[in-house]
Structure 1
Amino acid sequence: MTDSVEKASYSVDTSAFLDWQLRYYPADVFFSLLDKIDGLLKEKRIFAPALVKEEIEASGGANLAKWAKSHSGLFVPLDEVLAAAQAVQNRFPGLMDPKAEYEEADAYVIGLAQVRGAVVITGETSVAEKSRPKRSHYIPDVCRELGISCFNFLGLMRREKWRF
């Protein structure tokens, strides 16, 4: 018997990929996690905007960048979510880091979740959990206001009922 939780799809932020492969669940230790992620990929239940790939290439480390390159089908072209991302950014201008030197993926991650009816996966925490927030909104804050489910990578594993 399957339930709707098992069939959720996920729009993933760069920070969640960093949490997975660099911070908490590295592939050399949690090697079976790669199989679980590959399963979501085969079912087309996990995806990210193309800007996430760019962020991974810029700051994700060699192994994660190599993984992202070999899983290019995961990344959705920006034009598919541009209108939704712009609507998010217009409604929540505080989501953008005013000091960012490049376009950030956050609004695209949320917009992609809206377009595809997905859960957002991020390593970010809400503004209320920060002692000195650099901006007025983070991904969890916007998701809460828009009624979009939002979890960290561990939350994805729990939602999928993965056991290791």
Structure 2
Amino acid sequence: MIYIVDTSSFRELERYYSEVFPTFWKLFQAEVDGGVVVSVREVLRELEACPETNVIAWAKNNSKIFNPPTPAEAEFVGQIFAVPHFQQLISSKAQMTGQPVADPFLIAAAKACSGTVVTQERLKPNSAKIPNVCEHFGIACTTFEGFLKAKGWSF
């Protein structure tokens, strides 16, 4: 199973200080190095717009996992936005300021590899959140806690 990680879940990792959770970071890095944990280029751009933290530094050092969209993924992003309600994935503020928007690319990457999106967003009725879009298209979606449980990790 490939896990495509959202900005919100990478930000969750800021609580896992490497000096306190060395076992976690060793296991997580092994998943990254093995190609099990990946993300999309727009997530790296969103992270780079945040104040510098241990996770931002880690992401920059592991930039190879933040992939640009493939043609098939770009085409699927178009399918997502063909659903009028899901056009809300891009906020007016992001449109006006040119801020990076990772959500549709995460979903498309998961669709392309039959992977699972990892996000801290929750399913919300009548919303254009990542879990709602994933549910609509039959794409697996979980939280960072769900990822940890799926891996069988406990600390």
Q: Give the TM-score normalised by the residue count of structure 2.
A: 0.86
Partner of 2:109: 112
| CA drift at 1:10 | 0.5
Q: Are the counterparts in 2 of residues 13 and 122 from structure 1 also a CA contact under 8 Å?
A: yes
Q: Distance in 2 between matches of 1:147 and 1:60?
A: 34
**Structure 2 equivalent of residue 50 of structure 1:** 41
Count of aligned pairs between the two proteins: 149
Q: Which residue of 2 is the match for residue 139 of structure 1?
A: 130
Deviation sequence 1:53-95 (CA, Å, 0-9, x none):
0111111533222111110111111345322223223322122
SS of the residue corresponding to residue 59 of structure 1 reads coil
The answer to whether residue 85 in structure 2 is matched with residue 94 in structure 1 is no
Gaps of 5+ in 1: 1-7, 129-134
Q: Does the CA contact (< 8 Å) of 1:9 and 1:46 recur in 2?
A: yes
Superimposed CA distance per residue, residues 93-119 of structure 1 (whole angstroms, 9 cap, x where no aligned partner): 122222223231000000000011100
SS in 2 for 1:126: coil
2:59 maps to 68
- Preserved CA contact (<8 Å) 1:86 1:107: no
For structure 2, list consecutive stretches of 5 or more residues without a partner in the other structure.
none
What is the TM-score of this pair, normalised by structure 1?
0.82
Query: Which residue in the other structure is 1:121 paired with?
Result: 118
Distance 2:77 2:37 in 1: 18
1:13 aligns to 2:10 (yes or no): no
Instruction: String of CA shifts for 1:29-59, please: whole Å, max 9, x gaps.
Output: 3222111111111221111110100111111
Q: Distance in 1 between matches of 2:91 and 2:122?
A: 15
**What residue identity is the alignment partner of 2:80?**
V
* Identity value in percent: 29
| Aligned twin of 2:20 | 29
| Distance 1:146-1:155 versus aligned 2 partners, 3 A rule | same
